[in-house]
Structures are given as C-alpha cells and as structure tokens.
Amino acid sequence: MMSGNYTSIDNQNVTGSVPAVSDPPGQVSVKFTESTLQTFPPSSAQGKISGGSGPPRDADDTFSKPVSDSDEAQPRGWLRTFTIAAYKPYFDVDTSDVLERIKDSLLPFSGSFNEKTANTPDLYGPFWICTTLIFVAASIGTFVTYVAHKLQNKEWDYDINLVTWSAALFYGYVTVVPLCLYIILKYFSAPSSLVQLFCLYGYSLFIFIPALCLSIIPFDIFRWVIAGVAGFMSATFVALNLRNHIKSAGERWFLIVAGIFLLQLALAVALKLYLFTVSV
C-alpha cells in the first residue's frame, strides 16, 4: 500500500506539466529579431564621385536630406555662374577618365581628344596638372640652382619667386590663352565651348611635367632638346585638335592654328630660359 502510493505520486509529479516561470517584477524580456545586415560593398554602388552611397544614419538633417532644386532657390541666368552647382559637372570624373585623357595628350597626332571630351569636358584634370607643374617647376629649378652654387662654392639662398612666377605662368597661360582664343573664334563665327578650351589646354601641359623632371640632367644641349620636344608635342596636340573646328572660320584659319602652335612653343622656351639658365 505504502509503496504503491509513493509510486503514483512520483508518476504524477513526472508526467505533470511544469508551470512557466514568470519574469521577476522590474525586468523586461529581450527578444531577438532577424538580422538585417547588408553585404559590403552594396550591389547598387555607382561609379564616379556622384555615386549613390548615402550619408550615415546618424547624420543630421543638413546631410541626410538630399538637396534639390525644389529645396532651395537656385539663381538664374548669369548669376548661376557664381554658384558651386554650376561647376560641379566639370569635376565629376574618376581616375580612369583622367588617365585616359592624359594618355591622349601624350599621343598628339591622333587629334581625337576634342571628340572624346565634347560632351564631358572637365576642369579637374587641368587644375591638378597646373598645380603639379607649379611645384615641379619650382622644386627642380631650385635644385638646379642649388647644385650650381655649391659646385662653384658660392652662397645660395632660396628664391621664393620661383613659386609665384610658376603659378602666374601656368595658371595665367591656361586661363588667358583659351579665353582669348574663345573671343577670336567667336569673332570669326566659329565659336567653341570655353570649358572645352580650358580642358584642352590644361591637358596639353601634362607633357611638361616629365620634361621638367628630365631637365635635371646637367647638360644644356639636352635641356634644349627636351624643351623643344615637349613644346612640339604640346603644340601639335592643341593645333590638331582645333584644326578641323577652326577651318570653319574661313581662309584665315591657318594663321590661327599657326599662332596656337607658336604660343605653345614659346611656353617651352620660357620654361627653359627662366628655370635652367644656370648650367650645372
């Protein structure tokens, strides 16, 4: 009897349902939801600087809210020239675009640069090419004069005018010459895009970067050869790309092309005479 009672009690305790333990007061149960992690990089990523990647989630309204024409009043007419939005398309290039255009500038006889950049001229490449030229010209010119003075046991002082002169030369040339050419072509009823001219002249100066680096070799004849070759390639690049367009200006098109060619050669001669007048 006694053992049977104990057996039935044990069976009831084992087979019975166990009540769920309730959470103590003051505590909140945590529930885990399904992960929403995304793969990296996003499959919808776009190229160039205008890609589709958005701002971080914790950014404020200034960054998280896209800017559109409806959000703020955009200046109209000539006032738009003084806004950043007017120049943004001319800096929307990637590395492959710039390298391809630099490659075309080193192949002056192809004459296809204007056709490739007719719809997408940029100012990013010309700006950095001119900026690089300024520092390369100033540094190499300074090094050449330093070595020359040391070999002659003379006192040497750094000439800051090399930087200012180089900046005035390259920035001035790539701005004033295309602007004057734009006015001339418009006068002869053969107008060209001003930005396209800036782009063409900016990339035409790239050949002077390796030319200046090679001019560090202490032979004056070699420097003249380098300056002549660089000037000829740069002049040919500009002249051939503008030749077909300038032909529509009439019978004087040849004089315009010749003037463009000679100006580029004059730039090379100016670099040689000012930066490398001292023979090491």
Radius of gyration of the chain (CA): 34
**What pLDDT sits at residue 105?**
93
Q: Which residue has the tokens 């010309």?
A: 126
**% of the chain exceeding 90 in pLDDT:** 33
- For the cut 70, the answer to whether the pLDDT of residue 87 exceeds it is yes
| Low-confidence winner among 35-49, 155-169, 241-255 (lowest mean pLDDT) | 35-49
Q: Output the average pLDDT for the chain.
A: 76
Q: Could you read off the pLDDT of 179-220 as tens digits, one per residue? A: 999 998 888 877 788 999 999 999 999 999 999 999 888 788
Q: Domain spans of the chain?
A: 122-275
CB neighbours (10 Å) of residue 207?
23
Using CA atoms, how far residue 196 sits from 122, 191, 204, in Å, is 8, 11, 12
* pTM assigned to the model: 0.70
- For the cut 90, the answer to whether the pLDDT of residue 8 exceeds it is no
Contacts of 123 (CB under 8 A, 6+ apart): 87, 90, 91, 195, 198, 199, 202
- Cα 202 to Cα 125: distance, rounded to the nearest angstrom: 7
Burial per residue of 141-177, b for 16 or more beta-carbon CB atoms within 10 angstroms, e otherwise: bbebbeebeeeeeeeeeeeeebbebbbebbeebbeeb
Give the residue from 200, 198, 141 showing the smallest Cα distance to 166.
141
Give the residue from 139, 147, 248, 244 showing the smallest Cα distance to 190.
248
- For the cut 90, the answer to whether the pLDDT of residue 127 exceeds it is yes
For residue 176 the two structure tokens come to 């004033």
Give the residue from 83, 98, 90 showing the smallest Cα distance to 119.
90
CB neighbours (10 Å) of residue 250?
11
Reported residue count of the chain is 280
Report yes or no: 140 and 215 within 8 Å, Cβ to Cβ: yes
Q: Could you read off the pLDDT of 153-180 as tens digits, one per residue? A: 788 777 788 888 889 999 999 999 999 9
- For the cut 80, the answer to whether the pLDDT of residue 101 exceeds it is yes
pLDDT band at 11 (very low <50, low <70, confident <90, very high): very low
Phi, psi of 265 (to 5 degrees): -65, -40
Phi, psi of 82 (to 5 degrees): -95, 15
**What pLDDT sits at residue 123?**
93
Report yes or no: 242 and 260 within 8 Å, Cβ to Cβ: yes
Report yes or no: 207 and 234 within 8 Å, Cβ to Cβ: yes
pLDDT band at 23 (very low <50, low <70, confident <90, very high): low
